[in-house]
Structure formats: structure tokens, C-alpha cells
């Protein structure tokens, strides 16, 4: 019995190493995204009009811009979440560590384990706190309880939620507050140990205190992960990001160090937006 | 094969299974209708519709049953339509959240699920015996009216609910009373939806067999009803009667009568869908 | 003047609504009064335990069990067909199918539910039974198998349509969270969407069972008129509903014990469906609150 568990655990760990091996070459287990000449249509509407950009490892990159500018659409290309949208069409290449993620042999499920996502509104499953965090492991077919328990605890600690929930792991996730739910969703993402985390306006539904906690968390996570965050809050972008990309009408207007963007932007449109003249 | 590939395979297999199930249901629909058409279409001619029932299959027609169905349809509409719409309007526009409205709601939901044959027992005791209507068209229509009442009420409520509050506010602001608002604004605006529900309910009534058998509708009636107090048969009962006979000629008759019945049902459903689409466009 | 008019209108609308209460009251009292008189002549213990139902013969027995077993057997067969097929269709339509496909298929499936049941009876007797007899030579002309299967086909849209509504009501964010973790559509459907929609799905199943138990014409035509306590699907049986039809077709005197048997049978049927419907109502109420 004990032997069996050990074998499953070894398998599970081994599998995880396999998946990450391509990325682990990069220092600090972080990845780089390289998007080239991306165009996206929904039916006849052109949502992205040719964007090229590189995301640097172990940084926080913020996507800003007025609603409808394509920043969320662009973010969701990285883990192929747009694939299920009716009428979605894409041109261009997105490479993760040099591999085309829209290639024919790519398994989206594998990609999404590597690139986690946190959504606009906290969206925990109607299950217990524990089951929420363990979900990603269980769908991979991992059954070893010790391994799962350890991962759940680790992820909840990383998401700064462990102390608040450790005594009620069996409680429904829906009973948590909005801020706690969002940290749970972050823990859920961390549990499968991705290398990149996409965040789509993760604090827009939260109060200022919960927002501050999440921002602190993002700052801590930067050490281990590459984070891309879509936000409509410019203060937030300037507080937490290293790089900022400004999108407007489906185009990437300006992309630079956050400091540069907020102090001396090179484009008029960027300046107008960050000074609040439109958007 | 790693676990992701296995999961993907399962995913694809389920997808095909889902398509197969959907097609299974649709193919059966086609097979059924096709089979009926093959069995019955050559039996349909003008005589089949205008002939009285007979002992001989080839001489039998559906005239009395068809007339009975039309009588039932008309009387049921006259009875169920005003009552159902009135009750629906009351529940949506007047009723306050209290015990009575809660009781009405659970009651209507429950009535919608009562088997149709139970309505037959109610009709038999109340309309046929106590009110002394006998096995008449009127007793049958009253029974079916009660049967489809819940459907009309629910459809009315949903159509009225779909009307935006702004329309009511505009009417009240001009000094209209509650009833004036309902009569002049809400009913015309929700009419398409209500009509859809009523037609669907009536198409259900046309196909009902069991409650009318219990009420005492006859399998063999020599004449078409001339007044609401006359005895009657209806198409589904005629079909049932023919199915039960061993000679092949009657099976052919049953198939032919089913074609007529399905035609009526599908046309009514088609009209209902047409009104619903038109109404939903208008609502937007 | 205007006030009086408004008052009169409100009260007359109210009385229309109250008719529905009168209907329920009427059903219960009619069934109760006749059944009460029935039970003054037949002991309720015999009714519930006697294994024969022969009110129309000289050697009279009044045991409901044979009718009940016929009803449960045909319903069981129907649900065994409708549940897997109906649920699979609902999951396919809600999770996999393109929107346009879903929009065309759903009304077509609902067409299955609009076909009069006497027509299904015809299929069961004239088409399905002869077909099954080629596979099972011992199958008798009247049997619960073919009646049950055809009833199952009739019930498919009840389950597929209502379940699809419930699945569709699950917020998209829930699916995205699951896809985002690397789950397949199948895993998402069974681990997240179906559990979240479970109350709605359960309601659809309960309503389908209730519908099967109360279904009359298919079983009256294709399952036979021989009350017998059996779970053999190849032999003729009789359901509660088919018995009521059988008696109604004959010439039974009002006030006779034979006349009252149909009410005793009716109240048994009513109790079953009433419990199922009430249960589904409460589940539905709870579920509605969850998403609003």
C-alpha cells in the first residue's frame, strides 16, 4: 500500500518535471512570451489589428487601455481561452519559450496548466475550499492524497489565505468574502504550479482593502512567476507593474517600462489616457 | 498515452456519443412520421374526411370525430382562454407576496403535473354526474379547459412579466388606473406571448385522449354534434378505436387519421412559433 | 365610480385565479369521497397487500399491487431509455454544440413532446413490438417493454430540454475557471457544470418520472390489459391508467363497486404524482434562489 502511494507520488512529481522541463531552463522557472503580428476577428469584427510584443520573465506586465481596446482579448490568447468563443479567428504566432502555442500538436489542456488564469470576478466552484484548490490536480488524474494535501496547503499559503481558512477547508468556497474568494482563485491557479499567471482585472470586483492584499500578493509572486495583468486602474498599473502596455482600438500604442510610460510617454494618445483626458 | 491525451480521447468520445443521442431522437422522429405516411397516405381522400364511421374499414371516415374535435377545440378556447388569462394577469399584476399567492403558485405548478386521466375522473364526477351534463361535448370541453388552464396561466404570467416596467410607469404617469394600464398597454404588448401559450395549450387539448374516454366520449358516434349537449367522439379516440381492431384495414385508417391529427398539431405548433418569434422581435 | 370598477375587476380576476384552487380541491374531494366509499367495502389492507386485481371477474380481488407493478415497470423502462439519452443530449447541446445547431435542434426535439400520445401508442403496437419480436421471439403482442421504450422516447425532450436550461443557466465564469485550469469540456461538464445545475437536472428527472407514471394511452394500447404482479417486460401487464381507461370504455353503473375502483386506482396514482410534483416544486424554488 505504502509502496503504491510512493509510486503514484513519484509519477506525479516526475510528470510535473516533464511538463516544466522546457521552461525550467530559463532562470527562476519563469517563461517568456513572444507574440508576432497578431490579428483577431470575432465574426467580421476585427478586435486585434496586428500586435507584436514580448513578455519578459519574472516581471509584472500591465495591460491598460479603455474598455473594448482588445487588452482582455489579447491576454486570453496566451492560454487560448478565446478558442471556445463563436466566430473567433486568429492570425499570427504566439511562442512560449520558442514553441508555437497554436501549433497543431499542442494540447491546450497542457498549455493551460503552464499558464494559469485569474478572472475578473472571483469564480470559485460551488465546492469546498479544499476541492477548489485540489481541482487542477485532480483533473490531471493525480490521486495521491498526501501529495494533494501538501500542494493545497502550499498554494493557500502562497496566496496568503491559509491562516484564514486552515480550520474550515471543508466549508463551501461560496461562503468566503469576495476578497478571500479571489485569493482562493489565485491559490487554485498556483496549485498546479504554472510558470505564467494571467490576471484579467482581478481586483475590479473587490473593495480597496482586498485589492491591497491582492496587490501585495502579486508583488510577492513576481519572484517565481511571470505575471500579466489587465487593469483599468492606472494607479494599480503604476504601483505593481514593471512594464506597461497601452492598448487602443485593437492596437498596441506603446509598450515600455512602467516608469517611462507614466512619466514621459512617447505617444500623445498614451499621455492623454494616463492623464485622464479620455477613456 | 499520458493523462491529458486520455482525457482528450474521453472528451471526443463523449462528443460523438452526444451527437449520436441527438441524432437518435431526431431519426426516430423521422422514422415514425415516415412510417405513418407510408401506412396511411394512400387512404386519405375527400371521402375519408366526409364519411361517417362504419363497420367496414374501407367505408369508414373521420367526419364525426373531426367535427367532435373542432367542437371541443372551440368550446375549450371559449372557456379556458378568458379564465386562464385573467388568472395569469391577477397573479402577475395584482397579487402581493403573501400566503395566498404562495399557495396559488405551488397549486398551479402542481396542477400542471397532475396526470390528464385524473382530470377525466374529476370531469366524470363533477360535470357528467353532479352537474348532469352527461357525456356531452360541453362536459368534455370543461374537463379539457381545466387541464390546460395551468399552461395558459403560466404562459400569460411569463408574457406579462416580460413587459418592461417603464411601460407601466408611463401609463400611470398619464393618470391611467391600474386596469386601464393593463387593458390598454400591458395586454396588447404581451398579446403575442399569451397567444403563443394559448395555441400550444390548445394543441395539447386536441391530442388528449384519456380524459375524454373517462368522461364518456364514445368511440362510435353516428352523427356529428349539433349542440354543446350532444354526444361526441374526437380524432384521438377514433384513432384509438381503430388501433384496437385486428383487421388490417383499420390500421390503415388509424394511420390516415394520425396524419390528419399530426397535421393539425404541427400546424398549431407552427403558428405558435410564428407568433412567438414575431412577438419577441417586437419586444426587443 | 372608477374605484368601484377597479375593485370589481380585481376581484373577478382574483376569482379566476381561485378556480385553480377549486380544481385541486375538486380533484382531492372527488377522489377521496369515491375512494372512501370504496374502502368501506374493501379493506385497505387487502387493497395494499392482495396480489390480484380482478374487480371485473366473478372471483373479485382488489389488490392494487399488480396495477402498481405494471405502472412502475413501464415507467422504469421509460426512464432507463430517456435518462441517459436525454441527459447526454442536454450536455452535448449546452457544452459542445455550436449555438446555431442548438437553436435549431431544441425546437425539433420539443416537437417529439408535442405528438399526441395516442400516436405513440400506435408506434409501440404497430411498429416497435413487431420489430422487437424479431429479436425476442417470445415477446407477446402486448408487453411493457415496447410500451416502456416508446414512452421513454416521448419523455426524452422533457429531460433534455429542462436539463439543458439548467446547464445553460450555470454562469460562464464557472466553465472558464475550469478550462483555465486545463480541464477538458467533458471534465468541466461532469465536475463543475452538472454538479452546479444538479437541482435543475433532478427536477427534470422527477417531472419525467411523474409524467411516465401518469401516461395513459401508450400503455393502454401497447402494454395490455392483464393486471399481473410481475417484472417480466415481455408479457402483457396493466397499469393504473390503463385500467381506468378499460373500465371507462365498458358500461359500468355509477355507484357500483366497479365504478369506485377507478377512483381508488386514481387516488393511488394521484398520491404518487402529487408527491413527486411537490418535491420538484421545492427543489426548483431553492435552485431559483441560488442564481438570482
- Interchain CB distance below 8 Å, A126 and C180: no
Tell whether C116 is within 8 A of chain A (Cβ).
no
Q: Å from C260 to nearest chain B CA?
A: 11
Taking only Cα atoms into account, the Rg of chain C, rounded to an integer number of angstroms, comes to: 23
Most C CBs within 10 Å, among A20, A43, A76, A109, to test the C interface:
A109
**Within 10 Å of residue C161's Cβ, how many Cβ atoms?**
21
Tell whether A83 is within 8 A of chain B (Cβ).
no
Say what the pLDDT of residue A26 is. Answer: 43
Clarify whether residues C136 and C242 are in a common domain: yes
B132: left (phi over 0), alpha (psi -120 to 50) or beta: left
Residues in B closer than 8 angstroms to A15, CB to CB, are 2-3
Say what the pLDDT of residue B141 is. Answer: 97
- Interchain CB distance below 8 Å, B106 and C278: yes
Cβ(B151)–Cβ(B200) below 8 Å: yes
| CB-nearest partner of A123 from C174, C182, C195 | C174
The set of cell numbers assigned to C69 is 407493478
Q: Which of A4, A16, A27 minimizes the C-alpha distance to A154?
A: A16
For A2-274, CATH number? 3.40.50.300
Distance CA B262, CA B269 (A): 10
Domain boundaries, chain A: 2-274
Residues in A closer than 8 angstroms to B7, CB to CB, are 109, 139, 141
**Within 10 Å of residue B9's Cβ, how many Cβ atoms?**
13
Clarify whether residues C32 and C157 are in a common domain: no
C163: left (phi over 0), alpha (psi -120 to 50) or beta: alpha
C-alpha separations of B199 from B207, C20, C111 in Å: 13, 20, 14
Average pLDDT over residues A2-26: 44
Distance CA C127, CA C135 (A): 13
Burial pattern C79-96, b for ≥16 Cβ within 10 A else e, equals: bebbbebbbbbbbbbbbb
Clarify whether residues C144 and C204 are in a common domain: yes
Q: Which helix (H) or strand (E) holds A92?
A: strand A88-96
Q: Which residues pair with A33 in a beta bridge?
A: A55, A96
Clarify whether residues C72 and C30 are in a common domain: no
pLDDT at A194 exceeding the cut of 70? yes
Nearest CA in chain C to B202: C114
Neighbour subunits, C (≥3 Cβ pairs < 8 A) = A, B
Question: In angstroms, how far apart are the furthest CA atoms of chain C?
Answer: 78
CB–CB contacts below 8 A, A to B? 15
Say what the pLDDT of residue A21 is. Answer: 40
C-alpha separations of C217 from B238, B261, C102, C247, C263 in Å: 13, 15, 31, 14, 18
Tell whether C176 is within 8 A of chain A (Cβ).
yes
C-alpha separations of C186 from A109, B10, B238, C52 in Å: 12, 8, 48, 49
Q: Which helix (H) or strand (E) holds A107?
A: none
DSSP string for residues in B18-30: HHHHHHHHHHHHH
Domain boundaries, chain B: 3-43, 47-283
Name every residue whose Cβ is closer than 8 Å to that of residue B24 and which is 6 or more positions away in sequence: C85
| Mean per-residue pLDDT pooled into runs of 10, chain B (284 residues) | 84 95 92 91 88 81 93 96 96 89 91 95 94 93 97 95 90 89 92 93 95 88 87 94 86 94 94 90 80
Q: Which of C211, C210, C209, C219 minimizes the C-alpha distance to C240?
A: C219
Query: pLDDT-derived band of residue C222, with 50, 70 and 90 as boundaries?
Result: very high
Average pLDDT over residues C163-188: 93
Q: What is the three-state SS of C203-266? A: HHHHHHHHHHHHCCHHHHHHCCCCCCCCCCCCCCCCCHHHHHHHHHHCCCCCCCHHHHHHHHHH
Cβ(B193)–Cβ(B151) below 8 Å: no
Any domain includes C274 = yes
Give chain C's domain count: 2
Clarify whether residues C123 and C31 are in a common domain: no
Name every residue whose Cβ is closer than 8 Å to that of residue B164 and which is 6 or more positions away in sequence: none
> How far is CA C186 from its chain centroid?
29
Clarify whether residues C17 and C105 are in a common domain: no
Torsion of CA A217, A223, A226, A230, to 10 degrees: 30
- Interchain CB distance below 8 Å, A109 and B8: yes
Tell whether A140 is within 8 A of chain B (Cβ).
yes
* Architecture of the domain made up of B47-283: Orthogonal Bundle (1.10)
Any domain includes C230 = yes
Question: Please, is C163 exposed, middle or buried when counting C-beta atoms within 10 Å of its C-beta (0-12, 13-18, 19+)?
Answer: buried
Tell whether C97 is within 8 A of chain A (Cβ).
no
In the three-class reduction of DSSP (H, G, I as helix; E, B as strand; rest coil), residue A118 is classed as: strand
Say what the pLDDT of residue A20 is. Answer: 40
CATH code for the domain in which residue C145 is found: 1.10.3720.10
pLDDT at A29 exceeding the cut of 70? no
Structural domain containing residue C208: 65-291
**What is the DSSP secondary structure assignment for residue B127, as one 8-state letter?**
I
Any domain includes C166 = yes
Query: pLDDT-derived band of residue A106, with 50, 70 and 90 as boundaries?
Result: confident
The set of cell numbers assigned to B127 is 360535470
Say what the pLDDT of residue A77 is. Answer: 94
Any domain includes C216 = yes
Say what the pLDDT of residue B142 is. Answer: 97
DSSP string for residues in C136-157: -TT--SS-HHHHHHHHHHHHHH
Say what the pLDDT of residue A31 is. Answer: 53
Clarify whether residues C127 and C25 are in a common domain: no
Strands A115-118 and A99-100, sheet pairing = unpaired
Nearest CA in chain B to C150: B28
**Within 10 Å of residue C155's Cβ, how many Cβ atoms?**
28
Distance CA B145, CA B122 (A): 12
The set of cell numbers assigned to C249 is 370504455
Clarify whether residues C109 and C179 are in a common domain: yes
- Interchain CB distance below 8 Å, A119 and C173: yes
The owner of cell 395586454 is B187
Distance CA C84, CA B247 (A): 38
Q: Phi then psi for A256, rounded to 5 degrees?
A: -160, -175
pLDDT at A6 exceeding the cut of 80? no
Clarify whether residues C85 and C199 are in a common domain: yes
Distance CA B137, CA B132 (A): 13
Q: Put the strands of the sheet holding A115-118 in their side by side order.
A: A115-118, A196-200, A226-230, A60-64, A243-248, A251-257
Give C95-126 pLDDT, tens digit per residue. 999 988 998 898 888 888 899 999 999 999 99
Q: Which of B29, B62, B41 minimizes the C-alpha distance to B256?
A: B41
Any domain includes C59 = no
Cβ(C242)–Cβ(C223) below 8 Å: yes
pLDDT at C255 exceeding the cut of 90? no
Query: pLDDT-derived band of residue A278, with 50, 70 and 90 as boundaries?
Result: low
Distance CA C200, CA C290 (A): 11
CB–CB contacts below 8 A, A to C? 66
- Interchain CB distance below 8 Å, C196 and A123: no
Clarify whether residues C137 and C29 are in a common domain: no
ipTM of model: 0.92
Tell whether A151 is within 8 A of chain C (Cβ).
no
pLDDT at A30 exceeding the cut of 80? no
Give A143-168 pLDDT, tens digit per residue. 999 999 999 999 999 998 999 999 99
**Alpha-carbon torsion C28, C30, C36, C38, what sign?**
negative
Q: Å from C182 to nearest chain B CA?
A: 9
Amino acid at each position: 500500500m505504502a509502496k503504491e502511494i510512493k509510486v503514484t507520488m513519484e509519477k506525479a512529481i516526475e510528470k510535473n518535471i516533464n511538463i516544466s522541463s522546457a521552461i525550467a531552463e530559463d532562470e527562476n522557472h519563469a517563461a517568456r512570451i513572444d507574440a508576432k503580428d497578431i490579428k483577431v476577428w470575432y465574426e467580421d469584427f476585427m478586435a486585434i489589428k496586428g500586435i507584436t510584443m514580448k513578455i519578459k520573465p519574472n516581471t509584472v506586465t500591465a495591460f491598460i487601455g479603455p474598455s473594448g481596446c482588445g487588452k482582455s482579448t489579447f491576454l486570453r490568447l496566451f492560454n487560448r481561452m478565446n478558442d471556445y468563443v463563436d466566430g473567433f479567428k486568429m492570425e499570427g504566432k504566439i511562442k512560449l519559450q520558442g514553441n508555437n502555442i497554436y501549433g497543431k500538436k499542442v494540447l491546450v489542456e497542457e498549455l493551460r496548466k503552464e499558464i494559469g488564469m485569474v478572472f475578473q470576478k472571483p469564480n470559485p466552484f460551488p465546492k469546498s475550499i479544499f476541492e477548489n484548490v485540489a481541482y487542477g490536480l485532480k483533473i490531471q488524474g493525480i490521486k495521491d492524497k498526501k501529495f494533494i494535501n501538501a500542494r493545497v496547503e502550499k498554494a493557500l499559503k502562497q496566496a496568503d489565505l491559509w491562516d484564514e481558512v486552515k480550520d474550515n477547508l471543508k466549508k463551501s468556497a461560496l461562503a468566503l468574502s469576495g476578497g478571500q474568494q479571489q485569493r482562493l482563485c489565485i491559490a487554485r491557479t498556483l496549485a498546479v504550479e504554472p510558470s505564467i499567471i494571467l490576471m484579467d482585472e482581478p481586483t475590479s470586483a473587490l473593495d480597496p482593502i482586498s485589492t491591497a492584499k491582492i496587490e501585495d500578493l502579486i508583488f510577492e509572486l513576481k519572484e517565481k512567476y511571470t505575471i500579466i495583468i489587465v487593469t483599468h486602474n492606472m494607479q494599480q498599473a503604476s504601483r505593481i507593474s514593471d512594464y506597461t502596455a497601452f492598448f487602443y482600438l485593437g492596437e498596441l500604442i506603446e509598450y515600455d517600462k512602467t516608469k517611462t510610460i507614466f512619466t514621459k510617454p512617447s505617444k500623445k494618445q498614451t499621455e492623454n489616457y494616463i492623464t485622464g483626458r479620455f477613456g | 498515452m499520458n493523462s491529458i491525451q486520455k482525457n482528450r480521447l474521453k472528451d471526443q468520445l463523449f462528443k460523438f456519443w452526444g451527437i449520436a443521442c441527438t441524432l437518435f431522437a431526431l431519426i426516430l422522429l423521422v422514422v415514425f412520421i415516415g412510417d405513418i405516411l407510408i401506412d396511411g397516405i394512400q387512404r386519405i381522400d375527400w371521402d375519408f374526411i366526409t364519411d361517417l364511421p362504419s363497420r367496414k374499414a374501407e367505408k369508414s371516415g373521420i367526419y364525426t370525430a373531426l367535427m367532435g374535435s373542432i367542437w371541443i377545440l372551440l368550446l375549450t378556447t371559449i372557456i379556458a382562454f378568458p379564465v386562464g388569462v385573467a388568472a395569469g394577469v391577477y397573479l402577475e399584476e395584482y397579487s402581493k407576496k403573501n400566503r395566498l399567492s404562495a399557495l396559488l403558485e405551488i397549486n398551479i405548478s402542481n396542477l400542471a403535473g397532475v396526470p390528464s386521466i385524473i382530470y377525466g375522473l374529476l370531469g366524470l364526477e363533477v360535470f357528467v354526474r353532479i352537474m348532469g351534463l352527461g357525456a356531452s361535448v360541453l362536459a368534455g370541453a370543461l374537463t379539457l379547459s381545466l387541464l390546460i388552464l395551468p399552461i395558459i396561466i403560466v404562459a400569460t404570467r411569463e408574457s406579462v412579466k416580460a413587459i418592461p416596467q417603464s411601460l407601466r410607469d408611463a401609463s400611470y404617469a398619464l393618470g391611467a388606473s391600474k386596469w386601464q394600464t393593463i387593458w390598454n398597454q400591458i395586454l396588447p404588448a404581451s398579446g403575442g406571448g399569451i397567444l403563443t401559450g394559448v395555441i400550444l395549450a390548445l394543441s395539447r387539448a386536441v391530442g388528449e385522449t384519456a380524459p375524454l374516454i373517462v368522461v364518456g366520449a364514445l368511440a362510435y358516434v353516428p352523427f356529428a354534434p349539433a349542440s354543446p349537449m350532444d354526444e361526441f367522439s374526437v380524432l384521438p379516440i377514433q384513432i384509438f378505436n381503430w388501433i384496437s381492431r385486428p383487421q388490417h384495414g383499420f390500421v390503415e385508417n388509424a394511420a390516415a387519421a394520425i396524419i390528419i391529427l399530426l397535421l393539425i398539431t404541427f400546424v398549431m405548433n407552427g403558428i405558435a412559433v410564428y407568433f412567438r418569434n414575431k412577438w419577441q422581435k417586437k419586444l426587443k | 365610480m372608477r374605484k368601484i370598477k377597479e375593485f370589481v375587476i380585481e376581484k373577478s380576476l382574483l376569482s379566476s385565479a381561485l378556480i385553480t384552487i377549486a380544481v385541486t380541491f375538486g380533484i382531492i374531494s372527488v377522489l377521496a369521497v369515491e375512494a372512501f366509499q370504496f374502502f368501506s367495502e374493501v379493506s385497505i389492507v387487502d387493497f395494499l397487500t392482495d396480489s390480484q386485481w380482478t374487480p371485473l371477474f366473478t372471483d373479485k380481488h382488489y389488490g392494487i399491487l399488480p396495477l402498481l407493478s405494471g405502472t412502475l415497470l413501464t415507467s422504469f423502462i421509460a426512464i432507463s431509455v430517456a435518462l441517459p439519452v436525454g441527459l447526454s443530449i442536454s450536455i452535448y447541446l449546452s457544452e459542445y454544440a455550436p449555438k446555431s445547431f442548438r437553436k435549431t435542434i431544441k425546437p425539433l426535439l420539443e416537437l417529439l413532446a408535442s405528438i399526441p400520445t395516442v400516436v405513440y401508442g400506435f408506434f409501440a403496437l404497430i411498429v416497435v413490438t413487431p420489430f422487437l419480436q424479431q429479436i425476442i421471439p417470445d415477446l407477446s403482442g402486448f408487453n411493457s417493454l415496447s410500451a416502456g421504450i416508446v414512452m421513454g422516447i416521448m419523455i426524452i425532450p422533457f429531460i433534455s430540454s429542462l436539463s439543458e436550461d439548467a446547464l445553460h443557466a450555470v454562469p460562464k465564469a464557472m466553465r472558464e475557471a475550469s478550462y483555465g485550469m486545463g480541464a477538458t469540456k467533458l471534465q468541466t461538464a461532469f465536475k463543475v457544470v452538472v454538479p452546479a445545475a444538479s437541482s435543475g437536472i433532478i427536477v427534470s428527472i422527477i417531472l419525467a418520472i411523474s409524467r411516465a407514471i401518469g401516461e395513459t394511452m401508450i400503455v393502454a394500447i401497447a402494454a395490455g390489459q392483464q393486471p399481473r404482479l410481475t417484472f417480466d417486460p415481455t408479457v402483457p401487464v396493466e397499469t393504473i391508467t390503463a385500467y381506468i381507461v378499460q373500465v371507462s370504455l365498458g358500461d359500468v353503473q355509477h355507484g357500483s363497486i366497479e365504478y369506485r375502483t377507478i377512483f381508488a386506482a386514481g387516488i393511488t396514482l394521484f398520491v404518487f404524482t402529487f408527491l413527486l410534483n411537490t418535491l420538484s416544486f421545492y427543489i426548483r424554488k431553492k435552485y431559483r434562489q441560488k442564481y438570482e
